[in-house]
């Protein structure tokens, strides 16, 4: 009996020892599996956040404006997937685009085998924690427009430091007419041309007198002050001010003209024009109370009607958001029959505190006219 009891004890100990050894082997195998399987995995793919702000064809070039939103990670390139109804091609563009920055990528159509490009999608390429190159998922897709919105000057906005010769056509407040080629073409007045605008920068206008009504095409070289009438003295005194837009009144500029979005009130000042579009927000992106884009059923439903909106400003009523924003892009999506406005929010500035069902107003006047 004693031998049998001892044998059972030994057998039990052996079984326990074998179980412990098996558990150890399984644990080591599991750790090696996890280490091997996750070597190339990084939380970067869950934090890098890219969006397409605009995409359009301009002179055989597909211009794609990309913004990187908040999210850590070592971005090294972006794959652009260009598609039509039947085909797709991938173009890789190297970039180190940082958080809350924008970059315009130029994709040459001649490099593609696709004749009629329709959409573009983007996928980030980043370095994993182990230093390996990893391709992320598609993050945004945008329909490619056939019409240029003309919104980029250098970094994408007209900052006042660029001259007319460096701004592209229709670049908002930077041109105020069209001085895109650096010369005055006859459609601009001296008051709207920038300093770089050629023939209207000096002293003489035809008869040697600046009468206020000469355009750049009629001003001779060195035209100087031809935008300022002799009667522009800060006091509205008819008939001295006959033919002068404004003089010394509310919102009147020093050159006796009304700012864009204002109209002369007939007594020396300028009145704010009504908004060019008003409506109710249908949806916002990326989230309620923290957005830089919104859609509305009240916006014009054609891309042609939205061209020029990048020169306007927008504010919100019935909202916690009290600021006025410039418009960086305006797009119509035919497939969903909705239009979208992107707000021009500088790097480091809080996104707009707006939500669906709140009202918006779009103004031709800079800063929604509220600072004049």
- Indicate the range of 59-63, 154-158, 170-174 predicted with least confidence: 170-174
Average pLDDT over residues 65-75: 87
The predicted structure's pLDDT at residue 104? 86
CB atoms within 10 A of CB 295: 18
Q: Is the pLDDT of residue 209 over 50?
A: no
Q: What angle do CA 169, 153, 168 make, to 5 degrees?
A: 15
Q: Which segments of the chain are extended strands (E)?
A: 50-58, 61-68, 75-83, 88-94, 102-108, 119-127, 133-135, 140-143, 262-264, 270-272, 277-280, 283-287, 290-296, 313-317, 325-333, 338-344, 359-363
In which band, very low, low, confident or very high, does the pLDDT at 186 lie, cut at 50, 70 and 90? very low
Highest mean pLDDT, choosing among 102-106, 169-173, 196-200: 102-106
In sequence order, which ranges of 183-333 are alpha helices (DSSP H)? 303-306
Average model confidence (pLDDT) across the chain: 76
Say if residues 101 and 347 touch (Cβ distance below 8 Å).
yes
CB atoms within 10 A of CB 338: 16
Residues 154, 295, 331, 362: what is their CA dihedral angle, to the nearest 10 degrees?
A: -70
Say if residues 140 and 122 touch (Cβ distance below 8 Å).
yes
Supply the CATH classification number for the domain 277-369.
Answer: 2.40.10
Residue with the two structure tokens 């009667």: 231
Q: Is the pLDDT of residue 325 over 50?
A: yes
What percentage of the chain reaches a pLDDT higher than 70? 70
Q: Is the pLDDT of residue 50 over 90?
A: yes
The predicted structure's pLDDT at residue 5? 57
Residues 250, 277: Cα–Cα separation, whole Å: 24
pLDDT tens readout for residues 129-153: 888 899 989 999 999 887 544 433 4
Residues 340, 192: Cα–Cα separation, whole Å: 30
CB atoms within 10 A of CB 40: 13
Average pLDDT over residues 156-175: 38
The predicted structure's pLDDT at residue 339? 96
The segment(s) of the chain belonging to CATH 2.60.40 are 44-143
Average pLDDT over residues 309-318: 94
Average pLDDT over residues 343-358: 94
Coil, strand or helix: which one is 235? coil
Assigned CATH topology for domain 44-143:
Immunoglobulin-like (2.60.40)
Q: How would you class 163 by CB atoms within 10 Å of its CB: exposed for 0-12, middle for 13-18, buried for 19 or more?
A: middle
The predicted structure's pLDDT at residue 110? 77
Listed in sequence order, the residues at least 6 apart from 67 whose beta carbon sits closer than 8 Å to its beta carbon are: 50, 51, 53, 100, 101, 102
Strands 61-68 vs 102-108: parallel, antiparallel or unpaired: antiparallel
The predicted structure's pLDDT at residue 21? 74
The predicted structure's pLDDT at residue 86? 81
Phi/psi for 30 (5° steps) reads -65, -45
The segment(s) of the chain belonging to CATH 2.40.10 are 277-369
Average pLDDT over residues 16-33: 72
Residue with the two structure tokens 């960086």: 328
The predicted structure's pLDDT at residue 152? 37
In this structure, what token pair is assigned to residue 271? 């009145």
Residues 270, 346, 342, 292: what is their CA dihedral angle, to the nearest 10 degrees?
A: -120
The predicted structure's pLDDT at residue 113? 76
Give 119's strand partners: 83, 143
What percentage of the chain reaches a pLDDT higher than 90? 38
Question: Would you give the end-to-end CA distance of the chain in angstroms?
Answer: 108
Q: Is the pLDDT of residue 161 over 80?
A: no
In this structure, what token pair is assigned to residue 330? 């305006």
């Amino acid at each position: 009996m004693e031998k049998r009891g001892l044998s059972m004890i030994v057998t039990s100990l052996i079984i326990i020892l074998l179980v412990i050894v098996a558990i150890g082997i399984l644990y080591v195998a599991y750790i090696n599996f996890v280490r091997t399987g996750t070597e190339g995995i990084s939380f970067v793919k869950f934090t890098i956040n890219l969006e397409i702000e605009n995409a359009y064809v301009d002179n055989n070039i597909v211009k794609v404006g990309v913004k990187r939103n908040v999210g850590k990670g070592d971005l090294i390139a972006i794959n652009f997937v260009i598609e039509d109804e039947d085909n797709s091609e991938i173009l890789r563009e190297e970039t180190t685009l940082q958080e809350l920055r924008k970059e315009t990528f130029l994709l040459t159509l001649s490099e593609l085998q696709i004749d009629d490009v329709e959409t573009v999608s983007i996928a980030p390429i980043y370095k994993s924690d182990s230093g390996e190159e990893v391709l992320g998922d598609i993050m945004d897709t945008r329909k490619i427009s056939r019409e240029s919105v003309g919104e980029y000057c250098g970094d994408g906005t007209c900052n006042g430091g660029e001259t007319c010769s460096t701004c592209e056509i229709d670049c908002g407040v930077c041109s105020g007419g069209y001085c895109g080629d650096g010369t005055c073409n006859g459609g601009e007045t001296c008051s709207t041309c920038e300093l770089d605008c050629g023939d209207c920068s000096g002293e003489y206008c035809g008869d040697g007198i600046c009468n206020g009504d000469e355009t750049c095409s009629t001003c001779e070289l060195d035209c100087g002050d031809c935008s300022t009438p002799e009667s522009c003295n800060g006091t509205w005194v008819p008939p001295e001010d006959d033919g002068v837009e404004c003089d010394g009144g509310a919102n009147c500029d020093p050159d006796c003209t009304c700012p864009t979005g204002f109209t002369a009130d007939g007594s020396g000042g300028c009145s704010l024009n009504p908004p060019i579009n008003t409506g109710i927000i249908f949806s916002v992106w990326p989230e309620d109370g923290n957005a830089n884009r919104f859609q509305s059923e009240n916006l014009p439903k054609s891309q042609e009607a939205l061209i020029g909106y990048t020169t306007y400003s927008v504010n919100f009523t019935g909202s916690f958001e009290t600021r006025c924003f410039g418009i960086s892009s305006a797009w119509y999506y035919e497939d969903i029959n909705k239009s979208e406005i992107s707000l021009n929010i500088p790097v480091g500035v809080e996104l707009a505190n707006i939500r669906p069902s709140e009202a918006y107003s779009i103004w031709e006047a800079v800063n929604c006219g509220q600072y004049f």
